[in-house]
Amino acid sequence: MVNRRFQGMHEAAILLGVFSLVSQLIGLFRDRMLAHMIGPGPKLDVYYAAFQIPNFIFISIASLASITVLMPFLVERMDGNGQESARRFFSDVLSGFFLLLVTVSVGVFFLMPWLSRIIAPGFSADQLHELVAVSRIMLLSPIFMGLSNMLGTVTQLLRKFFVFSLSPIFYNVGIILGIVFLYPRYGVAGLAIGVVFGALLHLLIQIPTLFSAGFAPTFTARLSRSTLRQVVALSLPRTLGISMNSLALLAIVAIGSTLTSGSISIFNFALNLETTPVGIIGISYAVASFPILSEAFARGEKEKWQSCILSATRQIIFWSLPLTALLIVLRAQIVRVTLGTGAFSWADTKLTAACFALFTIGLIAQNMVLVSTRAFYAAHNTKTPLYINAVCSIGIICLAFFLKYEFLNIPMFRYFIESLLRVGDVPGTSVLMLPLAYSLGTLVNALLHWVDLRKRYLDTTGTLPRATFEAIGASFVTGAVAYGSLNVLSNVFSMHTFWGVLMQGGLACLAGTIAGIMVLALLKSESLFEIWSAFRKKFWRVDLVTSEELSTK
């Protein structure tokens, strides 16, 4: 299974989606343990705030040599001069950016006391002191994750998606081990050690595949400056673009630190829940489509390139819209089953569910952005996503400040939001403005990406309009059936037990899903039949690729 190579986009996306689901379920179990053992409050706020600077380093430095940037270069070299040329190029890039990651991390280590006051201006002195210590430990994680992501470029190029999909699973396992064994003894610092261990596992799982394929890179002190300049010239606009999004999240966390204690924790719990479907749908199709897009564009196969974009977009719409309806209807059940234990109270459940619903509004937008940006990068266009991401990220920050002000100072607006989401009796509802700002900004981001992509590269939208109307119709039916089922099943199962809530939510989800599939089948949805065809082909049973075959690519 490790050596299998997946050729079709839908087959690869399904495989990635399945393993992403496993990874996300493990991640939800991780969050459940955090909710049970710690719960929203000062300690967990410190833990989530400590991620901000390491994440920013990872995004702003490691993304200079990320998968989406390196893939076109490697494809061109493997098509032209064979695997050895691609391996030398990759070794130069890996060595240069490893050195840069280490240098920046060491510098940030000494600047953390000053940076902590920017990250969390609302923290107490004790929280700031702990934030500095925990962030310093976590500075190892961007080094390991950066190297792992660069190695992941090769595993994806070779279509070894099985290995690539295992990495996030091992990452979450490392964090869980830190929660279970290290937190009781070392506190939040133990959680940070678990994060670093998970990042190390994320890296180590990639290495055997590169050796078996004869693509193992070597660290070199004699770096090719022309190679590095070439990569940086292409990747810098992209890096600045996604760094802006990271800055938007950093600003949101800073705003959250000034709100009620536990607001950062609530925000991150809801965000992690919402990123589960993003990881399963958007990232799976983005990762599966990118090698195809890169190869098609490099070889001038415009029709294949357009077909891949339209097919991936159609599947994003197909999955995202009905799922959005389900998640909004079942938000309370999802949060209660996932996080409702130990120190996580009913008030925490209601507030997290409300944040989750607001995040879910932008689900399709997040998925669309992932695929659209891959299309631009495959076309060697990194400036357009930069401009769009920069404008939208600044907009998210401004909108978060504006909505927070409006919520705290206009009683009618506050009453409307609290009544709509049924949290009028819960303290700390001002945190709701953070996911609302993020989702609205992301929707604008996706719209701008799609408009520009269509204007520059697409001659037709194919069957997208019809697929959109089909998905909207299925979404209404799915949500309505799930909502009706919840009301009926509330009289059957006890809502005061884990199994009762699980059965109510699970059966309502099943009923809504079946209804949605029936609607799509009646409408003869092309997307539905594409997925069915991929399963009928038994995508997991594909030919093995030997090392000799790989050496000729």
pLDDT for 31-62, tens place per residue? 999 999 999 999 999 999 999 999 998 888 86
Summarised one tens digit per residue, pLDDT across range 8-28 is 555 555 666 677 778 878 988
Which residue reads 């509330």 in tokens? 490
CB 449 within 8 A of CB 382: no
Report d(CA 260, CA 461) in Å as an integer: 47
Kindly tell me if the per-residue pLDDT of 183 is higher than 80: yes
Q: For residue 155, is it within any domain?
A: yes
Kindly tell me if the per-residue pLDDT of 543 is higher than 70: no
Q: For residue 136, is it within any domain?
A: yes
pLDDT category, 209, cuts 50, 70, 90? confident
* pLDDT for residue 539: 45
At residue 4, what are phi and psi to the nearest 5 degrees? Answer: -75, 145
Q: Identify the residue with better confidence: 353 or 225.
A: 353
What mean pLDDT is predicted for residues 330-346? Answer: 92
What mean pLDDT is predicted for residues 503-520? Answer: 94
Reduced to 3 states (helix: H, G, I; strand: E, B; else coil), residue 4 is strand
Q: For residue 178, is it within any domain?
A: yes
Structure tokens at 517: 């599939």
Q: For residue 190, is it within any domain?
A: yes
Return mean pLDDT, the chain.
84
pTM to 2 decimal places? 0.84
Structure tokens at 360: 């879910």
- Residues facing 4 on adjacent strands: 544
Boundaries of domain holding 83? 42-256
What mean pLDDT is predicted for residues 260-277? Answer: 92
Report d(CA 504, CA 485) in Å as an integer: 8
- Residues facing 544 on adjacent strands: 4
Q: For residue 242, is it within any domain?
A: yes
CB 199 within 8 A of CB 145: yes
CB 528 within 8 A of CB 517: yes
| Tally of domains in the chain | 1
Q: For residue 182, is it within any domain?
A: yes
Report d(CA 331, CA 347) in Å as an integer: 14
pLDDT category, 304, cuts 50, 70, 90? confident
Report d(CA 543, CA 205) in Å as an integer: 22
CB 337 within 8 A of CB 324: no
Calculate what percentage of the chain has a pLDDT beyond 70: 86
Reduced to 3 states (helix: H, G, I; strand: E, B; else coil), residue 122 is coil
Summarised one tens digit per residue, pLDDT across range 111-169 is 999 999 999 999 999 999 999 999 999 999 999 998 888 887 777 666 666 677 788 88
Query: Distance of alpha carbon 48 from its chain centroid, rounded?
Result: 16
Q: For residue 516, is it within any domain?
A: no
Structure tokens at 422: 């049924």
Name the packing angle between helices 225-257 and 263-277 (round to 10°): 130
Kindly tell me if the per-residue pLDDT of 462 is higher than 80: no
pLDDT category, 486, cuts 50, 70, 90? very high
Q: For residue 118, is it within any domain?
A: yes
Amino acid at 500: G
C-alpha radius of gyration, the chain, whole number: 23
